[in-house]
Amino acid sequence: MVKVESVWDKDFGEIIVDREKTKKFSYRYRGSMRMTMGLFFSNNEYEHWRKKVLSEKMP
Amino acid sequence: MFSSSEETELRQVTELYGKVKELILFCEENHEEFKSNLHEVKELRDAFDHLMRIFAVKLGVKEEKNEEYLKINMEKVFGHVYRAGYDTLDYATLILRDKINKEVSGFSHSAIQAAIPTYYSEIRPAVESITSDIIKLRNDKDVANRSPEVFDKYFQNVKNLHKMFDAILKTKPALIEFTNKRKKEQLNDTLVKIAIGIIIGIALAIIGKIFI
Contact list, B41 vs chain A (CB under 8 Å): 15
Segment A12-53, tens digit of pLDDT: 988 888 878 877 887 887 777 787 888 888 778 899 999 999
* A56·B101 Cβ contact <8 A: yes
Separation between Cα atoms, residue B82 and residue B80, nearest integer Å: 5
Q: CA angle at residue B124 from B147 to B178, to 5 degrees? A: 145
Consecutive 10-residue averages of pLDDT for chain B (212 residues): 92 96 95 90 95 95 90 95 93 96 92 91 93 83 72 92 94 90 91 94 90 75
Q: CA of B132: which chain A residue's CA is closest?
A: A54
Q: Which residues of B109-131 are buried (b: 16+ CB within 10 A; e: fewer)?
A: eebbebbbeebeeebbeebeebb
Q: CA of B27: which chain A residue's CA is closest?
A: A40
* B131·A58 Cβ contact <8 A: no
CB-based contact, A14 to chain B, within 8 Å: yes
Cα dihedral B26, B27, B33, B34 sign: negative
CB-based contact, A50 to chain B, within 8 Å: yes
pLDDT at B136: 84
pLDDT reading at A5 higher than 70: no
